[in-house]
Amino acid sequence: MIESWDVVAGSKIGKPVHVYTRSDSCGAAASWAKYLGNKKQEDLKGVGIYGDPGLIDAAKKDPIGIGYGNFSFLFTRDGTVLKGVKLVPIDSNENGIADPDEVYENREAAIKGIRSGRYPATRKNYFFVKGKPQGLVKEFIKFALSDEGARIVDEAGTSLPILKEEREKVLKSLD
């Protein structure tokens, strides 16, 4: 684990890295644990903070702090990055630098990076049902995966809508 900003900056900063992580069970922490090569959320080290807003606020207020959050909590309604938040690039091609297409200044650029595979720390959300969906459950899933459902998800900004091809594949599997 990197404990000093000296390692990150490649020069003498003389400051420790303050890591913030989620104290409550959540998909974002589980995804980061997996991406970082850990087995589970409990393997992540750092100061435990409850919820995305709390974690983001703690990291924002700490000039040497770093944390993570679910996609929807990092952007304003107009797609700009929250004031005081800096999205840390992931060197996905491992060339030792943050290339321009690895730096995301707004929601649209981040979506493009995720969709292209340049931003690798992602996860999908799923519906879990007992048996094959029927009745209202099936109708809800069909609506959620419809063009209108995808539009609502995109407009709400809480997640990325599933691409049309993927949605159609899941919809076919319901029949």
The pLDDT assigned to 137 comes to 96
pLDDT digits (tens, 9 = 90+) for 53-86: 999 999 999 999 999 998 889 998 888 999 999 9
C-alpha 113/C-alpha 103 separation (Å) is 9
Strands 47-49 and 65-66: unpaired
Q: Which domains are seen in the chain, by residue range?
A: 5-116 (3.40.190), 135-173 (no CATH)
Q: Is the model's pLDDT at 139 over the cut of 90? A: yes
Read off the pLDDT band of 136 (50, 70, 90): very high
Joined together, the tokens standing for residue 103 give 């730096």
pLDDT digits (tens, 9 = 90+) for 6-42: 887 777 888 999 999 999 998 889 989 998 887 899 9
CB 160 within 8 A of CB 108: no
CB 43 within 8 A of CB 67: no
Strands 65-66 and 18-22: parallel
The pLDDT assigned to 152 comes to 92
Read off the pLDDT band of 109 (50, 70, 90): very high
Read off the pLDDT band of 156 (50, 70, 90): confident
| Full strand arrangement of the beta sheet holding 65-66 | 47-49, 18-22, 65-66
pTM: 0.82
C-alpha 32/C-alpha 132 separation (Å) is 31
3-state secondary structure of 99: coil
C-alpha 86/C-alpha 65 separation (Å) is 11
Per the listing, tokens 């700009």 go with: 80
Q: What mean pLDDT, rounded, does the chain reach?
A: 90
The CA–CA distances, whole Å, from 160 to 14, 72, 172 equal: 39, 9, 21
Average pLDDT over residues 89-115: 91
